[in-house]
């Protein structure tokens, strides 16, 4: 499939074939999980082909249950992250379904995010028969909904969620881009644009087997979506290694480094947490598994290694280690932004950030200094829920467009902050802008380059390594480069050969 994508892109230069050539099957994708189920249960596949079994993700199941089985649908945002939808043609992808052996007939029909999907017939929102039923006017993915809440509708506007992982969504307007470096185009949201006057005229039967007259997409926005799987994970790793006990203590350690003038040494300091891209993560985890009983295992994190630590001062090392790991998060985000700029020509003017990891003021300032762009930390604690409400309002005709809804929300937040401060939806202690500091930005440029060099060296080692003669799941490399701590353990029953 990927080879065919390369050939077709070479012949046609169409971005959809470039996206197909760079497509990566990942276990988190719904299509891979569906294939696993069908492979494990051949009789189920036969039932699918007979038309007695259908497949949908959570949003489809909830909608089907709420409407009493009248609506079997999904929306473009959820479909585009399933791994089997073509965002360029806005149809289920024939090549991917064929490669995985998934019958297209079992998949739900796809509609715009803001659309009259049906009426609630069952569940807690069901109303008496003599009252007007509750309409379901939106389906939308959580990351896309959060991006919508942050008002990232314009070309190049970006939202970053820092939680267990780092998830970057950048708006590309009404054009889908295909990148070769881990980013994939997804649909953020779209509307079928019914007005308030026509809502009552729309019939729930329109969500059946044939598209309704208003099912065409308008106000459609594409996003580039990229992610790094380990963000909160590596912070938790620091805690398990007793670098800190509470997040307040972690913030204290980071600030102590500023007071000690460690930023002044940024040009020459060579202590880094070097992480690896997802496609090399399995090989890195083999090193981690085989080094379980090694004294210097503490240098090996869940997705990288700590290099350049001087063990002469344990207290100072705690500070340096914490800063190196937190700084690697900022460096990873900069790398993601550079990929968007290099391949798609899109440069973020501002980065809007949410998620639990964004609670660190030090990290937010480091992110601004590393990327050189302003950082705005969101005060919305439930941004996905609010984005879904915006999509539902557009679907119900309350607002004429997504832009009208988000502009009204942010305008009221800015001009009527006194009234909004009583709202439980906004945590005003979190709302804050972080501006790049020119002197620190300059120092971090060289440090970022050295981090990239150290990362490339480690990846080369992973590529060239082979594990031989291992027993008991322990290994060592007597010839390993000593500049990478954690890869030079004492002799055991296994060798890693470079």
Per residue in 397-427, pLDDT tens? 999 999 999 999 888 877 765 555 555 566 6
Burial (CB count within 10 angstroms: exposed 0-12, middle 13-18, buried 19+), residue 488: middle
Nearest to residue 14, comparing CAs of 177, 224, 188?
Answer: 177
Nearest to residue 185, comparing CAs of 89, 57, 277?
Answer: 89
Identify the weakest region by mean pLDDT among 229-243, 297-311, 315-329.
Answer: 297-311
Q: Given this model, what pLDDT does residue 206 score?
A: 40
Band the pLDDT of 312: cuts 50, 70, 90: low
* Helix intervals (H) in 164-214: none
Q: Given this model, what pLDDT does residue 468 score?
A: 44
CA–CA distance from 252 to each of 63, 323, 385, 398, 444 (Å)? Answer: 47, 11, 33, 46, 21
Q: How far apart are CA 74 and CA 207, in angstroms?
A: 10
Q: Which long-range CB contacts under 8 A does 1-5 form with residues at least 24 apart?
A: 1/95, 1/96, 1/99, 4/95, 5/95
Q: Which residues contact 411 (CB under 8 A, 6 or more apart)?
A: none
Q: Given this model, what pLDDT does residue 465 score?
A: 64
Residue 93 half-sphere exposure toward CB, CA atoms < 13 A: 24
Q: Given this model, what pLDDT does residue 6 score?
A: 52
**Does the structure show a pLDDT above 70 at 152?**
yes
**Does the structure show a pLDDT above 70 at 313?**
yes
**Does the structure show a pLDDT above 60 at 472?**
no
For the stretch 82-111, pLDDT in tens is 999 999 999 999 989 998 999 999 999 999
Question: Mean pLDDT, to the nearest integer, of 306-326?
Answer: 85
> Which tokens sit at 224?
């580039």
Share of the chain above pLDDT 90, in %: 51
**Does the structure show a pLDDT above 80 at 304?**
yes
**Does the structure show a pLDDT above 80 at 377?**
yes
Burial code of 357-381, b = ≥16 C-beta within 10 A, e = fewer?
bbbbebbbbbbbbbbebebbbbbbe
For the stretch 207-248, pLDDT in tens is 333 334 345 567 899 999 988 888 999 999 999 989 999 999
For the stretch 161-203, pLDDT in tens is 999 999 999 999 999 887 767 788 899 999 986 444 334 434 4
Question: Mean pLDDT, to the nearest integer, of 315-326?
Answer: 91
Q: How far apart are CA 286 and CA 66, in angstroms?
A: 46
The class (CATH top level) of 232-391+433-462 is: alpha beta
For the stretch 28-81, pLDDT in tens is 789 999 999 999 999 999 999 998 999 999 999 999 999 999 999 999 999 999
Q: Given this model, what pLDDT does residue 289 score?
A: 65
Q: Whose structure tokens read 């210097």?
A: 296
Question: Mean pLDDT, to the nearest integer, of 320-324?
Answer: 93
**Does the structure show a pLDDT above 60 at 112?**
yes
Q: Tell me the DSSP string of 429-460.
A: TT-EEE---HHHHHHHHHHHHHHHHHHHHHHH
Band the pLDDT of 316: cuts 50, 70, 90: confident
Three-state secondary structure call for residue 260? coil
Q: Which of 269-273, 306-310, 349-353, 485-489 has the highest mean pLDDT?
A: 349-353
The DSSP secondary-structure symbol of 274 reads: E
**Does the structure show a pLDDT above 70 at 447?**
yes
């Amino acid at each position: 499939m990927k080879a065919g994508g390369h050939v077709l892109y070479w012949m046609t230069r169409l971005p959809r074939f470039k996206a197909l050539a760079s497509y990566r099957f990942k276990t988190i994708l719904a299509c891979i999980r569906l294939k696993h189920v069908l492979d494990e249960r051949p009789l189920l596949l036969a039932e699918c082909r007979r038309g007695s079994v259908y497949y949908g993700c959570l949003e489809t199941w909830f909608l089907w249950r709420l409407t009493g089985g009248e609506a079997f649908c999904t929306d473009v945002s959820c479909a585009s992250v399933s791994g089997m939808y073509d965002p360029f043609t806005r149809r289920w992808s024939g090549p991917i379904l064929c490669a995985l052996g998934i019958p297209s007939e079992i998949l739900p029909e796809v509609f715009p995010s803001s659309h009259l999907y049906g009426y609630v017939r069952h569940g807690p929102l069901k109303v008496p028969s003599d009252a007007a039923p509750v309409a379901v006017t939106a389906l939308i993915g959580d990351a896309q909904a959060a991006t919508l809440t942050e008002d990232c509708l314009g070309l190049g506007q970006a939202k970053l969620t820092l939680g267990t992982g780092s998830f970057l969504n950048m708006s590309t307007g009404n054009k889908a881009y295909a990148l070769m470096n881990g980013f994939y185009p997804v649909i953020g949201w779209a509307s079928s644009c019914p007005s308030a006057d026509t809502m009552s005229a729309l019939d729930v039967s329109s969500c059946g087997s044939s598209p309704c007259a208003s099912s065409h997409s308008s106000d459609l926005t594409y996003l580039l979506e990229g992610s790094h799987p380990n963000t909160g994970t590596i912070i938790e790793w620091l805690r398990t290694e007793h670098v800190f006990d509470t997040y307040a203590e972690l913030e204290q350690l980071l600030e102590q480094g500023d007071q000690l003038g460690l930023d002044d040494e940024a040009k020459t300091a060579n202590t880094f947490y070097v992480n690896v891209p997802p496609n090399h993560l399995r090989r890195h985890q083999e090193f981690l598994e085989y080094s379980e009983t090694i004294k210097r295992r503490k240098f090996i994190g869940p997705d990288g290694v700590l290099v350049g630590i001087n063990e002469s001062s344990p207290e100072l090392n705690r500070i340096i280690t914490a800063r190196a790991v937190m700084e690697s998060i900022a460096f990873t985000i900069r790398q993601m932004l550079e990929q968007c700029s290099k391949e798609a020509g899109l440069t973020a003017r501002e980065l809007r950030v949410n998620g639990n990891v964004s609670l660190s003021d030090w990290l937010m300032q480091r992110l601004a200094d590393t990327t050189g762009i302003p950082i705005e930390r969101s005060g919305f604690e439930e941004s996905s829920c609010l984005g879904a409400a915006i999509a539902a309002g557009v679907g119900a005709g309350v607002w004429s467009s997504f832009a009208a809804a988000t502009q009204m929300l942010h305008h009221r937040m800015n001009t009527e902050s006194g009234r909004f401060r009583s709202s439980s939806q906004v945590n005003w202690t979190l709302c804050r802008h972080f501006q790049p500091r020119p002197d620190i930005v300059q120092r971090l440029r060289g440090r970022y380059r050295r981090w990239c060099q150290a990362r490339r060296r480690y990846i080369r080692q992973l590529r060239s390594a082979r594990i031989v003669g291992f027993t008991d799941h322990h290994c060592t490399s007597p010839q390993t480069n000593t500049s990478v701590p954690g890869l030079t353990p004492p002799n055991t029953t296994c060798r890693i050969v470079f």
